[in-house]
Each structure stands twice: as structure tokens, then as C-alpha cells.
Chains A and B, each alone.
Chain A
């Protein structure tokens, strides 16, 4: 009898992993993807929606169209996992039994954790990105502030990319001279990685983007239009964009599968749950201290697929493990970009920003739908 493999979450990691398991297991595993919406969203595109460079419709495809025919899709929300009984309870009341379970539920944003930030802008959800672009379209000058309200957050380069793309957008609209852009950074540099900061900071200065270091957002006063840091500093704004705090999904927290923020503890190489048998996790879902990004989910998916396929077939675990590989693009505006590449054993490197990397990023965004979910890119 075929093993029952259940994948929670139809994002980059879950979709790619489900397809690879179906491919590798040669009929010895039946894979079911559970996704709350049945709609696959390309989240890296939110950044572009926020500055009007991408249409929301182009960032969404039906999940079913991205899955191999042998993979079943259940459009429902997982509400509870019982690791002892090896079952997943769905919101509809249906129960799925599993032999192997992959948690690829990702992260959720919780802006409500920041006092006063209820109506603040963000580009970490589709709705947030659409609303932010609406506000930018009618922005006639003033101070736009970007702050970080919690670590970890998805796509570490995104805040820096956003201020560069915002600079381009305001210039194109002819309101840049009447505007100030302020980037509030958790550290005393633009980006966590020192080498990348050194590359990016002169460009920020050149574009007239003001960097304030050690500003960890604590609260917002929407009436006075000020944002205050844990360090005790206060900054005025006309339009405030925050990177919201993130946490794991509710089903992880409700099922006791994660830590106090809902991140799932896994072995950083095999991606197996530290405390429970037959469970793996990938992407934003895990507690691995590495970027929460599509690229991590992508690289981890092939490892988890090999692990789960072997388990489903009753074979020993494969030798290939996740080595901490991360590859991110970072837009620096004016049609240029750089990349950041590293793994557990190699420190980050970033090439000088150029048009080449900008075009590579756009090409990747376009070809994503035909390559990544299917597991066609290594």
C-alpha cells in the first residue's frame, strides 16, 4: 500500500516538495496538499505591486495547475495536528491520516502586536501592497518612513529594496524633491549582513535616503504621526510603512508543534522535527536562524522531498542534506540589482550592483510559474 504523505501549505516549498515526492516515490506514496485558499501566490511580487510595477493578478495562479496530476489538493484550513495519532484535523471537520507530514505553512504577519499600528502600511500581504500603492499614487510630498517592527521577517533585503524602488517611483512622479525617505534599521547599518551594507549604504546616500540606525520600532502614535523605538527615539512621518512582526501559523501554535512564536524546531540539515517522528518542516515555517525567503524554501524542498520519499519507500535517509544555502536578489533602484549568496559554512558575498542582476531578477519572477513549483530548477 502506498504511504500517505500530507503537505500543509501550497506555497513555494509545499508545492515544489509535493511535486518532487510524487515524482521520486514511483507510485509508492500518495501526496495530498492542504491549502487554505487553493490559490498560489508569488509573494516576492508584493514589493513591485506596492510601487505599481506589477499587477496583483499576475502574482496568482490556481494551485491545482501547478501540481502534478498524481498530487491531490484539498482546499481547506488545517486546524489541528495530532502527532501521536498521525492525523490532521481540517476546519471542515474532515480528518486526514498521514504516514509522513510536511509542515510548509509559512509565516503570518501580526501588525496588531505593535501598539498604534493598526492602520499603518505594509507590503507583506497582497492587500497591504495594494493599499500602499493606492496611498503612494496620491502622495504629494512629505516624509515617508520605513521601519522594522519585528525580527525575523520575510525576505530580509525587502525593506532596503523598497526604499530604492520608492525613490525611483517618487522621481518618476515628479514628487521626489518634495519628499524625504527615511529608513529606520534595527542595527547601526542598512542591512544585517555587513558586506552587503557596505555596498548599499553609499547608494542610499547618493539617492538622498536617510538611514537611522538602532531604531527597533516599539509603537506608533497615529494621531501625532510619530513612531517610537525601543531605544527611546521618536521620528515624525506623513506616511509610515512598517515591516510587521511575523509568527508561525495558528495550526502550529494550537498543535504544540512550535516554539513560543510558532516556529517549528527542526534539525538544520535534515529538516526533521526535533521532537516528533514522521514530521518535517521547510521554509518560513522552521526555527532555523536563516532567511525567511522563497529561496530557502526552494532549496529545502528538494532535501525534504528526498527525505520523505525515502521514508515513504522504507529506504534509509538520503545523504544529501540542507547546507544552509540562501540566494537573494536585492534591487538597488534605477534598474540595477545585486545578489546575496551564502550557506552555513560560507559568509555572504554580493557583487557590485548592475543591470544584469536586475534583469535576472525580473526573468526569475516571470519564469517562476514554469520552473520552481515543478521542481525544474535545482
Chain B
């Protein structure tokens, strides 16, 4: 199954809570079911994205790390 990313966000260098706010803004523009990927360098983003996903109901499909860069993929919830 191929996964199409509808939007990609570069949040590297930003410190909390900016990554969450920029993500929340970007997610608003997505249609239900679409995917957003975000790259961040703030380690605090890992628990923040997880908690934000749980609170808002937008699923966190991926949370990974490579070379100090975190990648998150969120799926916009169905209304």
C-alpha cells in the first residue's frame, strides 16, 4: 500500500510548543483521512505529538527518529 503525504512540515530548530501549534494549523487545512508529516529536532516533541494526537483524535501513524531528526505522521480524523 502506498502512502501519500498531503503536506510536509519542516519544524526543525523550533522549540516547544511551536511544533505543535504549527502542526495544529496545518492539520486544519487537510481533508479527513489525509496524512501530514512533520520533521522536528526538539526531543520534547515526541511526548507532545503523542499527547496531542490522543487529545484531538488525529491518529499518530508514525513517530520515528533518525540522526537527531524526529519524523511524525498524523492522520486527519474523520468528522
A binds B: yes
Residues of A within 8 A of B (CB): 151-152, 186-188, 192, 194, 213-214, 216, 229-232, 289
Does B65 sit within 8 A of A, measured CB to CB?
Answer: no
B14, A187: Cβ atoms closer than 8 Å: no
Give B1-42 interface residues, CB cut-off 8 Å to A.
Answer: 13-18, 20-21, 24-25, 27-28
A214, B16: Cβ atoms closer than 8 Å: no
A231, B25: Cβ atoms closer than 8 Å: no
Does B55 sit within 8 A of A, measured CB to CB?
Answer: yes
- Give Cα A187 to B21, complex, Å: 9
Cβ contacts A to B, 24 pairs, < 8 Å? A151-B21, A152-B18, A186-B17, A186-B21, A187-B16, A187-B17, A187-B20, A187-B51, A188-B51, A192-B16, A214-B20, A214-B24, A214-B51, A214-B52, A214-B56, A216-B20, A216-B21, A230-B21, A230-B25, A230-B28, A231-B24, A231-B56, A289-B13, A289-B14
Q: Give which listed residue, A152, A188, A192, A230, contacts B24 with CB less than 8 A.
A: A230
Given A188-B51, A188-B55, A231-B55, is A151 in contact with B17 using a C-beta cutoff of 8 Å? yes
B16, A216: Cβ atoms closer than 8 Å: no
Does B62 sit within 8 A of A, measured CB to CB?
Answer: no
- Give Cα A151 to B44, complex, Å: 16
Give chain B's interface secondary structure class.
helix
- Top 5 A-B pairs, shortest CB-CB distance: A230-B24, A289-B15, A188-B51, A186-B17, A187-B17
Apart from A151-B17, A187-B16, A214-B24, 18 more pairs, CB < 8 Å: A151-B18, A152-B18, A186-B17, A186-B20, A187-B17, A187-B48, A187-B51, A188-B51, A188-B55, A194-B44, A213-B55, A214-B51, A214-B52, A214-B55, A216-B21, A216-B25, A230-B28, A231-B56
- Give Cα A192 to B17, complex, Å: 7
Please give the distance in Å from A128's CB to the nearest CB on chain B: 22
- Give Cα A214 to B48, complex, Å: 10
Contact flags (1/0) for B42-71 with A, using CB distance below 8 Å? 001000100110011000000000000000
Which residue of chain B has its CB nearest to the CB of A191?
B17
B13, A188: Cβ atoms closer than 8 Å: no
Which residue of chain B has its CB nearest to the CB of A189?
B51
Please give the distance in Å from A188's CB to the nearest CB on chain B: 4
Which residue of chain A has its CB nearest to the CB of B28?
A230
Please give the distance in Å from A215's CB to the nearest CB on chain B: 10
B18, A188: Cβ atoms closer than 8 Å: no
Q: Give which listed residue, A151, A152, A188, A216, contacts B48 with CB less than 8 A.
A: A188
- Give Cα A289 to B20, complex, Å: 15
Interface centre among A194, A213, A230, A232 (most CB of B within 10 A): A230
Task: Give the residues in chain B near A216, CB-CB below 8 Å.
Answer: 20-21, 24-25
Please give the distance in Å from B66's CB to the nearest CB on chain A: 22
Please give the distance in Å from A119's CB to the nearest CB on chain B: 24
Please give the distance in Å from B41's CB to the nearest CB on chain A: 10
Task: Give the residues in chain A near B15, CB-CB below 8 Å.
Answer: 289
- Give Cα A232 to B25, complex, Å: 11
Task: Give the residues in chain B near A152, CB-CB below 8 Å.
Answer: 18
